[in-house]
Amino acid sequence: MPALDLAQEELGYLTPEAMSEVAEALQLDPGYVEGVATFYSLFHHEPIGKHRFYVCTNLSCMLRGASGIVDHVKQAIGVERSDQVSADGLFSFEEVECLGACEYAPMMRLDHRYHYDLTNESVDKLIAEIRSPSTPDSVPSPLTPALSPKGERVRKARPTRKKANG
Ligand code: FES
């Protein structure tokens, strides 16, 4: 799944070629990789916005105003449905089931980060931060590989492990 996530992050969605490449790289059956990619709703097979809002609309979030947050996200990015992308190609959204952070309802995931206790103003602020030219285009996620200025992947130094005695 992390490999599929990386491919999706790079391409914006999973193409058949990307899934085949993941299968080949991990020496897995292509049918198995496709099965995983089509089972989970976090993988997309059509182009989506570069940044995607995953707004939780399960019980706790719904009781604390999630439907208003969904309406506000749709209005703010200028789409009606989850299969649409904002005119600038930057945003799309979808409603998702519980993300396991009910105590911070209403909440959502934007790309790989969780955002809690949402208000219309906090949603606007997130959108403005991404659209602002003074803000880096994307915040690196734990899955984003570090790249050198030449675009080569930089390996992170790993802490050395202490050998167990006896
Ligand atoms: S109901 Fe929204 S995080 Fe659980």
Q: What is the pLDDT of residue 152?
A: 56
Do 34 and 86 reside in the same domain of the chain?
Answer: no
Task: Kindly state whether residues 109 and 73 are assigned to the same domain.
Answer: yes
Is the entire prediction scored with pTM above 0.85? Answer: no
Which residue from 99, 115, 117, 118 has its CB within 8 A of the most atoms of ligand 1, so it is best to mutate? 99
Whether residues 29 and 55 share a domain: the answer is: no
Whether 58 and 110 share a structural domain: yes
Q: Is the CB of 14 under 6 A from ligand 1?
A: no
Tokens at 24, concatenated: 């080949």
In a domain, 100, yes or no: yes
Residues 58, 125 share a domain: yes
The finding on whether 154 has its CB within 6 A of some atom of ligand 1 is no
Q: What per-residue confidence (pLDDT) applies to 49?
A: 84
**Does residue 99 form part of some domain?**
yes
Do residue 11 and residue 60 come from a single domain? Answer: no
Q: Do 62 and 105 belong to one domain? A: yes
Is 138 contained in some domain? no
Q: Going residue by residue through the chain (166 aa), what tens digit of pLDDT does each one get? A: 999 989 988 888 899 999 999 999 999 999 999 999 999 877 889 888 889 999 999 999 999 999 999 999 999 999 999 989 999 989 999 999 999 999 999 999 998 899 999 999 999 999 999 998 664 544 444 444 444 555 555 555 655 666 665 5
Burial (CB < 10 A; 0-12, 13-18, 19+), residue 118, is buried
Contact 117, 106 (CB under 8 A): yes
List beta partners, residue 115. Answer: 108
Q: Tell whether ligand 1 has an atom less than 6 A from the beta carbon of residue 69.
A: no
Read off the CATH number of the domain in which 81 is found: 3.40.30.10
**Residue 68 and residue 98 in one domain:** yes
- Domain with 123 in it: 51-131
Distance CA 135, CA 111 (A): 16
Say what the pLDDT of residue 141 is.
46
Task: Specify the number of domains making up the chain.
Answer: 2
Q: Determine the residue of 98, 103, 108, 116 to mutate for testing ligand 1's pocket, defined as the one with the most ligand atoms within 8 A of the Cβ atom.
A: 98
**Per-residue pLDDT, 161:** 66
> Using an 8 Å Cβ cutoff, are 110 and 52 in contact?
yes
Residue 61 Cβ contacting ligand 1 at under 6 Å: yes
Would the CB of 62 count as within 6 Å of ligand 1? no
Q: Is 11 inside any structural domain? A: yes
In a domain, 45, yes or no: no
Residues 57 and 33 in one domain: no
- Examine the domain organization and report whether 111 and 63 are in the same domain: yes
